[in-house]
Amino acid sequence: MSTVVIKSVGIDIGTSTSKFMMSELTLGRVSSHFSLPQFDIIERKVTYVSEIIATPLKNEEEIDLPSLVSWLEKEYQQVGLTLSDIKSGAVIITGETAIKKNADALIHYLAERSGDFVVAIAGASLEAVLAGKGSGAARHSQSSRAAIANIDIGGGTANVVVFQQGKVLETITFHVGGRLIEINSLGEVLRVSPSLKPWLCFKKFRVEKGMRLSLTELIEITSGLCGDLLDVLAGEKTISSLENLVHSTSCQGLPRIQEVMVSGGVGRLALEAPPATLADVAKFNDIGPLLASELMKAVKRYHFNVVEAAQTSSATVIGAGTQTTKLSGATISIQPELLPLRNIPVVKAALSEMDFEQQMEQAFLKGKEWFVGNDRLPFAIGLGGTLYLSYLMLKEIAGSIGNLYAKYFPSAEVLAVVCENDMAKALGQALRLQTKFQVICIDQIGIEHGDYIDIGAPLKDELVPVVVKTLAFS
């Protein structure tokens, strides 16, 4: 097997904290010599992990961009590298950081200087999935028949993803986080997040800036938050009954969850001794330590098997593996004026005669929930499977894709489709005839759900370079 080793970085910029990781990824060719080259990540090694820093903010509405850039430059110097030395990487912006006023400026800065990087704002559901892969929950579920819920609790939200046999079943995001209430060592409330106020009001907790809370009152609040979250996972309460605590979900119904794993900053705190005083609780000027201890107490009241996370607060991407393919312009359907396109996330659906319409609808729902930040081209649809397609079936598939795209993304301008099989030319033509969108349709590309692609401008000999970037986890 031919292999290549690349240096890659993973940068996670979250609500409360940010971190930087360096890795070496070994890419091995998994395709035959008679087909277009396809590489998978066959080995990964983390070579450097930064200290976790508080995400620099100018104020509640803006990221401190100069400070963040300065920190990144120092981290590169620490490992003796420059941006030009790095062949791939992933920058994931999560939580409340993603909605700061100047989040777009950060994305543009990083994208311009990052080469073949994935630079993405993660919606709450994607954030849950990334955390579940980084913590080891996804891998654990591959060897266990049980459904496992990874609960990733940070500063602003608790992102829950349910895996079974390696597949994502459902995601739910709750307004449960360590920095939703900020306090000092005397129990004085410094700030209450607006996102928590509806639940506090519903539960008849009075929490306002300037008032003092006792340790008993803080325990009641954090215990209530953890109890309601776990009641949903245990099937004892419905999502609709706790709509003031649920941030977002497209959950149609949870399976019976038998195992839980806890990650995130609060997950790391759960490994420490429970706080005994107000000063212990407020060592980070928030309720994080108490939330962690109350969560672990609450989990024991249910019949969940608690699985230790492989990573807690470092449950994040360690980089991205890349593969570059050059496609002949004669076999694909493109509009050259739309290219190049960068950092397009891929949502994959299988071609099947039985339930294609349903699979496509599920793919579009996932795309709408997972990916935010690009209204013009939210994501690319990846079509897999080995189904033989007649021209009539191609027309039906084109009609289904076009109708669903218009339904869920009416303001989109470009529709991108990535096919594993040789069908892009015909499908692209059918899509143009049946939709209002500008169409890019390419084929013979091996992609997986959650990959990112770059499609370059056509070269002189009518070749189009395509870069596939796969997020890597430790």
Q: Which of 270, 291, 320 is the last residue of a domain?
A: 320
The pLDDT score that the predictor gives to residue 187 is 95
The pLDDT score that the predictor gives to residue 100 is 62
Place of tokens 């056509």: 458
**Euclidean distance between CA atoms 369 and 360, whole angstroms:** 14
Sign (positive or negative) of CA dihedral 308, 313, 317, 318: negative
Listed in sequence order, the residues at least 6 apart from 188 whose beta carbon sits closer than 8 Å to its beta carbon are 210, 211, 212
Q: Kindly give the parts of the chain with pLDDT less than 50.
A: none
Sign (positive or negative) of CA dihedral 54, 59, 61, 66: negative
The pLDDT score that the predictor gives to residue 268 is 82
The pLDDT score that the predictor gives to residue 462 is 63
Q: Identify whether 469 is part of a domain.
A: no
**Within this chain, do residues 347 and 301 fall inside the same structural domain, yes or no?**
no
The pLDDT score that the predictor gives to residue 233 is 94
206-218 in b/e form (b: 16+ CB < 10 A) is ebeeeeebebeeb
Q: Where are the beta strands (DSSP E) in 175-220?
A: 181-183, 189-192
- pTM confidence score: 0.72
Q: Identify whether 468 is part of a domain.
A: no
Q: Which two tokens stand for residue 279?
A: 């000063």
List alpha helices for 271-351, DSSP H: 278-281, 288-299
Query: What's the domain range around 369?
Result: 330-457
In this structure, how many other beta carbons lie within 10 angstroms of the beta carbon of residue 60? Answer: 10
Q: What is the Cβ-side half-sphere exposure of residue 217, based on CA atoms within 13 angstroms?
A: 15
**Within this chain, do residues 117 and 141 fall inside the same structural domain, yes or no?**
no
**Within this chain, do residues 154 and 298 fall inside the same structural domain, yes or no?**
yes
368-389 in b/e form (b: 16+ CB < 10 A) is bbbbbbbeebbbbbbbbbeeeb
**Euclidean distance between CA atoms 345 and 367, whole angstroms:** 9
* R_g of the chain, CA atoms, integer Å: 23
User: SS3 of 338, please?
Assistant: helix
The pLDDT score that the predictor gives to residue 259 is 95
The pLDDT score that the predictor gives to residue 31 is 61
List alpha helices for 82-241, DSSP H: 103-112, 124-135, 137-142, 197-202, 215-233
Question: What is the per-residue pLDDT across 440-470, written as a single tens digit (0 to 9) for each?
Answer: 888 877 777 778 888 877 766 566 777 777 6
Question: What is the per-residue pLDDT across 169-192, written as a single tens digit (0 to 9) for each?
Answer: 888 999 999 999 999 999 999 999
The pLDDT score that the predictor gives to residue 386 is 61
The pLDDT score that the predictor gives to residue 106 is 73
In this structure, how many other beta carbons lie within 10 angstroms of the beta carbon of residue 353? Answer: 10
**Within this chain, do residues 285 and 177 fall inside the same structural domain, yes or no?**
yes
The pLDDT score that the predictor gives to residue 297 is 92
**Within this chain, do residues 75 and 163 fall inside the same structural domain, yes or no?**
no
Closest CA to 366 of 124, 109, 163: 124
**Within this chain, do residues 353 and 434 fall inside the same structural domain, yes or no?**
yes
Query: Residue 306 burial by CB count (10 A; 0-12/13-18/19+): exposed, middle or buried?
Result: middle
The CATH number of residue 279's host domain is 3.30.420
Measured in residues, the chain has a length of 474
**Within this chain, do residues 296 and 163 fall inside the same structural domain, yes or no?**
yes
The number of distinct structural domains making up the chain is 3
Angle at 343 between CA 340 and CA 29, to 5 degrees: 95
* Residues 390, 396, 397, 402, Cα dihedral to 10°: 150
**Within this chain, do residues 243 and 373 fall inside the same structural domain, yes or no?**
no
Q: Identify whether 325 is part of a domain.
A: no
**Within this chain, do residues 277 and 154 fall inside the same structural domain, yes or no?**
yes
**Within this chain, do residues 103 and 247 fall inside the same structural domain, yes or no?**
no
Contact 342, 111 (CB under 8 A): yes
**Within this chain, do residues 371 and 429 fall inside the same structural domain, yes or no?**
yes
Query: Residue 344 burial by CB count (10 A; 0-12/13-18/19+): exposed, middle or buried?
Result: buried
Place of tokens 């496609």: 327
